[in-house]
Structure 1
Amino acid sequence: MARSLSKPARTSLLPWLGLAFVIILCDQLTKIAILRVFSYGESVSLTSFFNLVLVYNLGAAFSFLASAGGWQRWALTALGLGAALVIIYMLQRHGTQRLFCTALAFILGGALGNVIDRLAYGHVIDFLDFHLNAWHFPAFNLADSAITLGAILLIFDELRRVRHGSR
């Protein structure tokens, strides 16, 4: 029996890049609004468990590498751009897999949203602060939320594939 050497079905990148663009736009607009309304470190309590606060993150998730001396800005920017290129390739190659591509588009939008911050400001702007009494989860932004949601969707997609036996 001969093996098929045909390429996987491809669809337009536009829907996925459009979704990533919407995420970038929402992320950047919320960051601009926070920058205009808040001064650094200012916090406003909205509920008993949620504040808006303006903080800067020089590092990666949970401020990892924040005190590394400056090189991390360029390393994390390069990592984000490299990830974006890989994601675009995967979107082009697997464009018919809706959940998989939705997850990748969320990650792409979030990664590029934070890359824009690193290039424009030298740090990432964070402003969402969830807490329980005195314990605060590290502040984050919409780009971080999109990356997290994308990762969750990737896991869900893979579990669904394994369950259905499709690869």
Structure 2
Amino acid sequence: MSLKKATLFIIIILIIDQISKFYIKTNFILGEEVKVFDWFRILFVENEGMAWGAKIPGEYGKLTLTLFRLVAICGIGYWLWDSVRKKNSRILVISVALIFAGAFGNIIDSVFYGLIFNDSHNQIASFLPEAGTYGSLFHGKVVDMLYFPLWSGYLPEWIPIWGGQYFTFFEPVFNIADSAITIGVILLIIFNKKAFPKEEKKSENI
């Protein structure tokens, strides 16, 4: 895959990701939920931290996380460029492009959303509001909305530690960008041998 095709692929993912986030942010109140199926719902949540809602504690935790993401995206971008330059396998280029697009999509939220939207608590947020925004540069919140509660119920008592507790599978709420990262990583795991082919060892002359 050429760099031009990989770039177009990334742009398409970014557009879909940002349109979905923009729609949710400007049409849903934080915590609002729409049931599509029993196992799939649109649920608006905002993530201030990393995956699974984890946060870096401290006054500068959010800033540190965003700056780390910016450094990481530079590394992923170089990996993509280098993979194309070396004419590595198509599956590797596609996987890295997915990871890059997903990481970049969430970085847009973290860097800019605090500057362009107001708060979503008990109200529908406005784009570029006159009354002020909810954050500052590098302090935006990532918009999540895809929720797949495939099963909910009480676990059997015989299960260690969690037995008898109410459990939901799959509980995390995520977005298109997260999906792109996950798919990219899964492709690298499944097609590991194609993505990272080992050079055939040359037989030594006796």
Q: Same fold (TM over 0.5)?
A: yes
Equivalent AA in structure 2 for residue 28 of structure 1: Q
**Pick from 89, 92, 96: which aligns with 1:104?**
96
Alpha-carbon distance, 1:93 to partner: 1.7
Cα distance in 2 between the residues matched to 1:70 and 1:43: 31
Alpha-carbon distance, 1:87 to partner: 1.8
**Length-normalised TM-score, structure 2:** 0.68
**Pick from 133, 142, 152: which aligns with 1:124?**
142
**Pick from 80, 83, 92: which aligns with 1:94?**
83
1:16 is matched with which residue?
Answer: 6
2:33 is matched with which residue?
Answer: 43
Work out whether residues 12 and 92 of structure 1, in 8 Å CA contact, stay in contact via their aligned partners in 2.
no
Equivalent AA in structure 2 for residue 105 of structure 1: A
Work out whether residues 106 and 150 of structure 1, in 8 Å CA contact, stay in contact via their aligned partners in 2.
yes
State whether structure 2 residue 152 is matched by structure 1 residue 133: yes
State whether structure 2 residue 192 is matched by structure 1 residue 158: yes
Cα distance in 2 between the residues matched to 1:25 and 1:71: 30
Q: After superposition, what is the alpha-carbon deviation per residue over 1:75-94, rounded to whole angstroms, capped at 9, x for unaligned? A: 22222222221122222222
Structure 1: runs of 5+ lacking an equivalent? 1-10
**Pick from 35, 54, 79: which aligns with 1:64?**
54
Equivalent AA in structure 2 for residue 151 of structure 1: V
State whether structure 2 residue 181 is matched by structure 1 residue 147: yes
**Pick from 66, 84, 92: which aligns with 2:73?**
84
Q: After superposition, what is the alpha-carbon deviation per residue over 1:58-103, rounded to whole angstroms, capped at 9, x for unaligned? A: 110000117x245332222222222221122222222122110100
**Pick from 107, 120, 123: which aligns with 1:115?**
107
Cα distance in 2 between the residues matched to 1:80 and 1:142: 17
Equivalent AA in structure 2 for residue 130 of structure 1: F
Alpha-carbon distance, 1:165 to partner: 4.4
Secondary structure at 2:173's aligned position in 1? coil
Structure whose CA Rg is larger: 2
User: Percent same amino acid at aligned positions?
Assistant: 34
Pick closer, same or farther for the CA change 1:116–1:160 going to 2, 3 Å.
same
Q: After superposition, what is the alpha-carbon deviation per residue over 1:105-128, rounded to whole angstroms, capped at 9, x for unaligned? A: 000000010000011231100001
Work out whether residues 147 and 172 of structure 2, in 8 Å CA contact, stay in contact via their aligned partners in 1.
yes
**Length-normalised TM-score, structure 1:** 0.83
Q: Which has the higher helix share?
A: 1
Structure 2: runs of 5+ lacking an equivalent? 114-139, 154-167, 201-206
1:6 is matched with which residue?
Answer: none
Range moving further from structure 2, 44-53 or 77-86: 77-86
Equivalent AA in structure 2 for residue 133 of structure 1: S
